Chain A
C-alpha cells in the first residue's frame, strides 16, 4: 500500500481514492464522512460528547499494579513501624518494619521509599492518596472492585463508563484500550462493558507483533486488500440502492473505512521507531524492544496524543506479581519494571503539555499488612482496609498527600478514600457527576459508584 500520508492529501481523500477506484462513494457515506466530529448519534455512539460540566481532564491513563502493592513500603511512611519492629499488637501479631527507607522529595517534601526512586522525583506532580479502601481482601474481588466498584457481581469497568459518558476523540482507534501482557485476576471482566453497549468494552492489547487482533492484512499484497475494500463498497452501495436509508447499514459501511485507517494508524501508534533516543532513555526503553512496562508507558503516551479516551496499563497478571506473601524482595524486579517508565511517562507528558489535561492514575487492588504472624517475616499479606494510590495531572493538585493512616498504616485515621470516592473523583475530573452518569438496566439506573461515593474536592486544583 502506498504511504498516503506522504502524498500530500488528507486521510479522507486517500480513502476516497481507494474507494473511488471501484465506484462512487454513496451519498450517505460522504455525509457521514463530512461529519467527522459530529454530535452523538445512533450511528456513532463513540462520537465525542460534551462533559456534564467543564472537565479538568480529557483522558485517563490508568496504571493498575496487579497483586497488591505494599503501601508501607512505597508511599505511606511509618517511622513508628520502623521503631516498633517486632513488637506484638492486638491478636498476637508482630509489627514488621518496611524493607525500604523513606526520603523526602521535591518542593513538597512528600516521602517515598527507596523502592521507587524515579517516581519519587515526580511527587510535586502527584496527589498521593494514603487512605484508599477496597471492599474485599481477595485478588479477584478487589481487582473487580477497583475497576467496576463491585466486588461481587459483574459490572461495567470505569473505562467503559468513561467511554459511554464521553465517547472518544479518535474514531480510528477504540475508545478504551487496555495494554496487558497477561490476563489479570477476574480476567476480561476487568475491562468488560457488562450491560453498557458492547462498543464501550475495553480492547485488550497484548504487547507483541499483533497488539490489536486482526490488524495485519493477510492478502498477498496491499493492493489486493484495497481492491477487496473497493468491492465491498460496490456491493454495499448496490445493496443500499434498493433500500430505505438505514443508519446501521451506513454505519457499517463507515466501519470499514475506520478499520482501514485503524490498520494504518494503530501500527503507527505502536511503532516507536521515530521516538528519539532521549525519549527512549527517559522511559528506560531499549530501542527495538516491545516488552515491559516501559513499552506500555511510551505507547500510552502515543495513544493519549492520538485521542484515545481511556488507556489502561496493567503491569503483570494473576501471577508473578506484587503478591509478596513469601518475600517482599520479590517486589524489586516489579518495581524496576514500572518505576522509571512511569516517571518517564509523567515527565514526557508534562514536557509536551499533555499532563494538564491527562489524568494519570496509579493504583492497585489493595495494600499489604504492616504486621505478620511471626517475627521477622519476609512477606506481607493482603490489606484492603488502608492502602496507597496516587493521581497526577488532569486537574489534580500536585505535591500534596491526602488522608492519613494510623501510626502503623493499619487503619485509616482520617479522610478515607473508598474506591467509590476514588471513582467519583475521577469522573468529576472528567466533567461528569457520578450520580448522573447512569444506565437503565433491569429496571434500575446503575452507576459506577452504586449508591455511594463522594467527590473529594480537596485534591482538585
Chain B
C-alpha cells in the first residue's frame, strides 16, 4: 500500500488509429525520483498527459494509493495531488509571480473576494521555504527560464503535490541553474514527494534518479534501479541497438579560411569577437546561456547586424545586413529555438523545407510545385525525417523530427558555411547521433561549421577547435587536443565557481 503511490496498469492509447502507447505499466514510490526514458516519440509525453488527465487511456487502469481513479481533465489530477511541469513552460506571461503560483486557486475571503494580501504573503513564504528569491510582483514574461521553472515548482508545491512530474526541466538551463534545480528536487524527495523526471541527458539521470523506466516505440521495456544499469545499458534499452559512438567526429584536414571575423561588435550584446573558420572544420562556440554566442551568430547571419568590426567570407570583405544576403553568400543558420525561429509550425514539411529557396522552384513568380515536391521529398528522405508524408504539419512532428526538418531546410540551400545553434537540444539519443553523424559527414565534404552548444560533451566531442565566450567577450580558445571540461568551464565562468552536476 505505502509501497507504491501511483500505479499504471497496461495503459494503451491511440490517436486517430495509431497506437502511441501499448500496454505500458509504471509504478511510482513515494520519495523517489523515477526517471522516464525513451527516444522522442516513444510515448513519454503521452504517458505524462494520461497521468495528469489531459488525455484518457483507451485501456488499462490507474491506481492512486491503491484506489482506481479516473481523471477527466487536468483539474481532477491536480485535486488528487499530481502536478506537472511541462517541457513548454505553462506560466501566464502577463500575470505576476505570486499570481502565477496560485492561478486558478487564489485564496478568497468570504464573499468570493480575492485575498491579495494573503496571496502575496503565502507566495512569499512558499518561495522562502524553497530557498528561491524572486520579486513576487514581477511579470512572468520578464523572468529567465530558470526563474520560470522555480515558479512552476512553487506552484506544484503549493498544492501539496504528492507527485511531481518534470518533463525535460533542464534542457534550457545553464550548469549552474541545473545544480540549483537538482538541489531543490532532492529536497522535495526528502520531503516524501514522488518525482517523475524526464531528461535526455543521461548524466543527469545518474546524478539524480533512483529508478528508471524505459519506453520504446510506445511499449514498456523495463524498470531498473539506477545503480544496476550503465549508460550503455540505457541506450541499448532505449534504441534497441547499441550506439557505439556518440560523437563520431572524423578527422578532416582543415582547408582554406572561409569565414573570418575581426573585432565584431554589437552594442549591448558582444564586443571584439574575432575568429577564423576553415573548410572542413567544426568550430565549437561554448559558454553559458546569455554569454552572447547566439548574438554573434545572428550578427553574422544578418538578423541583428553587427555595429562594428569586419566579416570576410571566402576572402572578400562583406557587410551582411540581412539574412537574404547571408544566404546568397552561402551561409545557413539553424536557430536555437525551433518553434520560434526555425519552423513555421502551421505549414507542412514541404513548404518548410522549400522556404528559403522558393525562388529556385519558381518560374516568373509561379511556383512549380512538382519540382518543389521532388526536391523537398529528397531532402526529407536524406535526413530520415519520420513522418506520415511530406504534407504533415511541422507542429505535429516530435522535437527530433522537427530538428531534422530544419536541417533539411538549410542543407537544401547548399550552404558553404553552416551555423548550428544548439543543434541537439531536447532531442533523443538516436536522433542526436544521427545529427552528429551528419555534421561529421558535412565537414568531411568540406563544409565549415560553427556550432553553438551548451552541452560540454557535445562541444568536446564534435569540435576541432573551441572558442569560449563570457558576457559578450571571447575568453578562451582551445584546440581539440587542449580542450578539457575544466578549461572550458573556467573560461566560461572565470572567477565564478561552478558546482559539478554530481
Whether chains A and B associate is no
